[in-house]
């Protein structure tokens, strides 16, 4: 068993084919001292899951082959396959029906998930959410946001998303989310155009739902929409 202290993550384009060069390591405290675990392996879904796990959980189990046991005890830096690092309950990651890992139930304050590829607007939305008394988790990509939500469905109790985001549209993201959780409150920013798909008006797309607000990106109105759906936190 080891205690997580710090993560080092760096990703950059390695060549013109857009292959990524990745460095991912964890600083941990172990029975034999402080170690830097360099995480190898081409497991992007597991890597996303593990990084999410470390947001809320600090204890890990690592599986070291017997032949490497002495090297691990004496080395300050140790290379290990990322799938040999898993939660303290001993349950290894396994793919579920969504193709991602199963997470322990989230413990702590519920978060608002904010999805927007505009960094400045994303941070302003986070500030508004925080000022209302709610914590926020940020994502710039629709597909990644869906993975985050499905990895820890107990963590999020509201989603704010722009429609025009990488990975998938905000409207498609909402369709997936409300299929998983029909009672999930959602705010969809439409941009200044009223159309999402050809012939579909944003107001008609989710008509009949009292849990979904479709709005233009006016930040001054965001807090009113949140209070309308959730109420103001005391």
Is residue 94 in some structural domain? no
**Residues 142-174: tens digit of each pLDDT:** 988 988 888 778 889 999 999 999 989 999 999
Which stretch of 98-112, 141-155, 210-224 has the lowest confidence by average pLDDT?
98-112
What DSSP letter does each residue of 35-77 carry, written as one string? EEEEEESS-HHHHHHHHHHHHH--EEEE---GGGHHHHHH-SE
| Section 22-29 average pLDDT | 92
Which range has highest mean pLDDT (44-58, 99-113, 185-199)?
Answer: 44-58
CATH of the domain at 162: 3.40.50.2300
Q: Are both 210 and 124 inside the same structural domain?
A: yes
Q: Which residue has the higher pLDDT, 68 or 13?
A: 68
pLDDT-based confidence at residue 176 (cuts at 50, 70, 90): very high
Please indicate, yes or no, whether the overall pTM of this predicted structure exceeds 0.85. Answer: no
Q: Are both 71 and 6 inside the same structural domain?
A: yes
Q: List CB contacts of 26: < 8 A, sequence separation 6 or more.
A: 4, 5, 6, 7, 8, 36, 37, 39, 54, 60, 85
Q: Are both 77 and 143 inside the same structural domain?
A: no
Decide if pLDDT at 48 tops 50: yes
At residue 60, the pLDDT reads 87
Is residue 92 in some structural domain? no
Q: Which residue has the higher pLDDT, 23 or 215?
A: 23
Is residue 104 in some structural domain? no
Domain that holds residue 9: 2-87
- 72-75's contacts with Cβ under 8 Å and 24+ in sequence apart are 72/32, 72/35, 73/32, 74/32, 75/35
Q: Are both 77 and 116 inside the same structural domain?
A: no
Q: Are both 140 and 60 inside the same structural domain?
A: no
Q: Are both 144 and 219 inside the same structural domain?
A: yes
Decide if pLDDT at 37 tops 50: yes
Is residue 98 in some structural domain? no
Percentage of the chain exceeding pLDDT 70: 76
The number of domains in the chain is 2
């Amino acid at each position: 068993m080891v205690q997580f202290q710090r993560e080092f993550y760096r990703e950059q384009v390695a060549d013109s084919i857009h292959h990524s060069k990745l460095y991912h390591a964890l600083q941990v405290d172990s029975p034999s001292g402080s170690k830097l675990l360099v995480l190898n392996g081409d497991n992007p879904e597991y890597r996303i899951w593990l990084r999410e796990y470390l947001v809320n959980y600090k204890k890990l189990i690592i599986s070291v082959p017997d032949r490497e046991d002495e090297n691990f005890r004496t080395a300050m830096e140790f290379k290990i396959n990322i799938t040999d690092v898993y939660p303290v309950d001993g349950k290894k990651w396994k793919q579920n029906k969504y193709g991602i890992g199963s997470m322990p139930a989230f413990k702590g304050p519920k978060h608002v998930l904010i999805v927007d590829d505009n960094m400045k607007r994303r941070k302003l939305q986070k500030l508004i959410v925080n000022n209302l008394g709610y914590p926020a988790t940020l994502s710039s990509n629709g597909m990644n946001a869906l993975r985050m939500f499905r990895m820890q469905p107990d963590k999020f109790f509201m989603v704010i998303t722009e429609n025009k985001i990488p990975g998938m549209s905000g409207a498609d993201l909402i369709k997936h989310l409300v299929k998983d959780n029909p009672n999930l409150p959602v705010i969809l920013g439409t941009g200044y155009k009223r159309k999402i798909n050809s012939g579909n008006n944003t107001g008609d797309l989710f008509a009949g739902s009292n849990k979904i607000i479709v709005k233009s990106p006016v930040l001054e109105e965001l807090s009113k929409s949140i209070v309308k759906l959730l109420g103001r936190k005391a």
